[in-house]
Structure 1
Amino acid sequence: MPDKNDSSKEPRRPRGATHGASARHLVSPAQWAESVVIGAPPSLRIFAIAGVQAALAVLLAIVATHLSPWPQLVGYASLGALAALFGRFATVERRMRIVVICALLLALGVLVPSLASWAGALPWMMVLVLALVAGASTVAVSWWSLGGPGAVIIVFAAGAAYNPVGSGAEVLARVLATLAGGAVAVLSCLVTDRWRATELKNLRLPPVHVPPWSHQWIAAGRITACAALAAWIAFMLGWHHPAWAAIGAVSVMQGGHLHITMNRALQRMAGTIVGSFIVWAMLAQQPSFWTVVAAIVVFQFLTEVVIGYNYALGQITVTPMALLMTYLASPTVAATMPVERVLDTMLGAVLGIVFALVFSSVDDRMHLHEHRSRAR
């Protein structure tokens, strides 16, 4: 019989790695205190340059589309311009490849739900399509190592295309406008990316941990299921933007570890509440088109500058930017947007952390236990 005291046996898992212990870690005062810590971005200059590039791309895309014969497509063009957000720490050559890929992914994010709507998909089917886009974009971001801001931007584009489509011509127009915005992003980065070259030479970033493909597929499956549930609940509650609940779930579940996931959940909810109040105050003044455009550009730049310090700060500025872009596409929903954004975000964030914990591996929970033990 084996010796019960055999020291060669695999050590027992610590008690702190159970689901219950992990849940207690995630709601502990130490976790809440960690979520409000102001950190230091790897390079404020690069974040600022990325902010200028994204703001410039969005501005050019909006203005060009508004002055074109198709001003109703201004929202889709501005979505395509968000491709400039990706690859801020990549080399100049690799950055161009990343931005092109992201521009195509954003166009696909618009194309898939638009085609589904044109084909007559029922509302519950559109929720499923949205969730599938979330999972597929998660895999794509990992496959091409596109980095931040990750799949959440692709889901944001898909959410914008959630509205009903009346014809194939409308589908084509949406996709072409998104591609046009992506082309503006590519050109904007191509012209200005030399600003990053000197800073990149002096920057030493830690190596990026790339999990095994099996783990990435599992993560994509979790995100798909959570996004589907969040969007379905929002739909069943009669909310007009179930995509926002899915976005909240995806953004939270992009965290690499449980404590980071919880931080993002708390920070996203807090930042969204403040940001929604800001945009409510702005829309109450019935701003002109150009005032809205100026605000979008300013908030886009500020988001890239402050998000490296704390994710909540980025949410305070990105929420008005996202809602104002939605307002440009659908001015009639302005009155209910801020409140629904808060509710959708809270729903998605809560479900995101619940999914992350319930479906966590032993290694995930052990990492959380060790992280919290080191922090004591």
Structure 2
Amino acid sequence: MPAATSDLHNPPTATRLRHSRGALAHSVSASTWRRALEVRPADATVAASLRVGAAAALVFVGCGLLDLRQYVGFAVLGALASAFARHEPMVRVAAKVTLVGVLVVAFVAGGGLLALARVPMWAEVALMSVGAAVAAMSVSAFRITGPGPVILVFAATAAAGYVTAPGDLVHVCSAAAIGAAVGLLAQTAPLLVLPLGPARLAVARALSAVAALDRGGSVEPARVAIVHAREKVALSGVRGGDARHHRDLIALLDEAEAAVDDWTAGDRTRLLDVVGHEAELRKIKRRSIIFDHSAEVGVSALPRPEGFLATGMSGLRSRAVLDNAARIALASACAGWFAAAAGLASPLWASMGAMAAMQGVSYAMTVQRGIQRLLGNVGGAVIGALLIAAGLGYWATALVIVAFQVSAEVMAARNYALTSLVVTPMALLMVGLGVHLSPEIGVSRIVDTLIGVTIGVVVAAVTISRSDLQHLHTSTDADQPTDRRSSSRVAAM
């Protein structure tokens, strides 16, 4: 059929409606829900998770001994900055974790000011939704990996529910700032001892991607992993006795790249040689002997990484970042207003549910995160209600929260439902440290999450890009478009 005739019978509005209907059908298919329960493999999670737990534990001990227990929840929120920018070189950890800490304090201050202004709930939801958009833009534009911008909105929500006087605002902001400083210390201290640790891990992962070629893997992921590793090595810099190991890592990446070229030509000899170094690089060591330096080892030049601020400012002007921020603001506002109209006690939790669901890089990922958050929140709310009913004391609560935090970090890369299962009771216990909660709060949390996830998925379906086709690979709805070509990911986060 000629293009003009096709356009006549399939105007853009009709095409978008069919695409949105197909997207909604995908969200309720059995295969989609089954995939949400899959547990993915992950590496290098324990040490990073323990650092986050150590930061939280230090804050709990300090506030407990100094009799500042009413502010410990905000200090722990600040300490969660240590959960961001894991496996990054020192220069990036310092910049990104500091920025997250500043944002946490800013959002705590914003939530506290909203409480002092005593704005009506509809306006509070609207302003928090704008804050959600700003949080999403900041994290995405500056490429800050970690728990995501929902932590910033949670910090603002907690302050809005706690602050009743200007003095409270000063105290909670100070607690968040101190916690953020502890989080920064927890993230950077290990890098003082193992400055090339992130570079070693990045090279090990690149070798793993190269090794996958021999198991039927494709060339593109291997090349991408090598480029990523080169950037990490370049950012790690060289100091003193680490110069030789730094040079070895570059040479190893050169060998890995040559191994990929040889493999594409049908020769796997070099591939078998180079991937054998992966196990050594995954050991927690300052340096390893990889090449014989009795002879000079030639290495290629490393790329010059783009500056952190330049990357962030460019990202803030990105159309994809701005569009996603607008979608998050819309979903958050709609969820919060719906919850408020329904008479629920915590409409802002519904807003957070919508925001968390929409942090996926594609519609398929948005649906998966929404399902996982819903399932995790249901189980987590029950656990939280039981713990609240048990009437745990300060130290017992601190121990449980730290254990939940470490567990959440270990599970974060494996399955978001398992992460939500422990994050939900942790969040409820943290809120309970500042204000009295009853076990019935678990029911409210479930309902708010259901509203947030549902509205988030609907908004994502209505605003889906026509180039976002990932969900079509597994959907069977008859009304879906028939174009099943490889999808292009939408930069949503």
Instruction: Give TM-score, length-normalised by structure 2.
Output: 0.69
Contact 2:75 2:175 in 1 (8 A): yes
Q: CA deviation at 1:182?
A: 0.3
- Letter aligned with residue 18 of structure 1: H
**How far off is 1:145 after superposition?**
1.2
> Counterpart of 1:368 in structure 2: which amino acid?
H
Gap regions ≥5 residues in structure 2:
210-220, 229-314, 476-483, 487-493
**What residue ranges of structure 1 are gaps of 5+ in the alignment?**
none
Q: Does residue 21 of the first structure (1) align with residue 22 of the second (2)? A: yes
Q: CA deviation at 1:150?
A: 1.4
Quick one: distance in 2 between partners of 1:327 and 1:163? 11
Q: Give how far 1:188 is off.
A: 1.3
Partner of 2:201: 199
Aligned residue in 2 for 1:128: 126
Counterpart among 406, 424, 445 of residue 341 in structure 1:
445
CA-CA distance at 1:50 after TM superposition: 2.0
8 Å CA contact retained: 1:16, 1:22: no
Once the two structures are TM-superposed, the CA of residue 256 in structure 1 deviates from its matched residue by 1.0
Shift of 1:141: 0.8
The equivalent residue for 1:327 is 432
Paired residue for 1:225, among 305, 330, 342?
Answer: 330
Q: Please, which of 97, 100, 115 is the counterpart of residue 99 of structure 1? A: 97
Q: Which residue of 2 aligns with 1:173?
A: 171
Question: What pairs up with 1:1-376 in 2 under 5 angstroms?
Answer: 5=2, 18-41=19-42, 43=43, 45=44, 47-163=45-161, 165-193=163-191, 194=193, 196-197=197-198, 198-204=200-206, 213-330=318-435, 332-364=436-468, 366-370=469-473, 372=475
Instruction: Give, as a single letter, the amino acid of the residue that structure 1 aligns with 2:457.
Output: I
Cα 1:335/1:26, change in 2 over 3 Å: closer
**Cα distance, 1:169–1:285 mapped onto 2, change above 3 Å:** closer
Secondary structure of 2:423's aligned partner: helix
SS at 2:161 equivalent = coil
Letter matched to residue 35 of structure 2 = E
For residue 201 of structure 1, report the CA deviation from its aligned partner: 4.0
For residues 122-141 of structure 1, the C-alpha deviation after alignment (integer angstroms, 9 at most, x for no partner) is 33222222111101111111
* Rounded Cα–Cα distance in structure 1 between residues aligned with 2:392 and 2:407: 20
% same residue: 29
Could you list the per-position Cα deviations for residues 23-47 of structure 1 after superposition, in whole angstroms to 9, with x for gaps in the alignment?
2223222212221122112x2x2x2
Q: Tell me, what secondary structure is at the counterpart of 2:413?
A: coil
Partners of 1:151 and 1:82 in 2: CA distance: 12
1-structure distance, mates of 2:48, 2:424:
18
- Judged with a 3 Å threshold, the aligned counterparts in structure 2 of structure 1 residues 211 and 129 are, in CA distance, closer, same or farther, namely closer
CA deviation digits over 1:146-176, x for unaligned, max 9?
1232111111111111226333222121111
**Would the aligned equivalents of 1:113 and 1:129 in 2 still touch at CA under 8 Å?**
no
Contact 2:16 2:466 in 1 (8 A): no
Q: Considering only CA atoms, is the larger Rg found in Structure 1 or Structure 2?
A: 2
Q: Matches of 2:363 and 2:423 in 1, distance apart?
A: 24
Task: Assess if the C-alpha contact under 8 Å between 2:376 and 2:421 holds in 1.
Answer: yes
The CA RMSD measured in Å over matched residues stands at 2.8
- Name the SS for the 1:313 alignment partner: helix
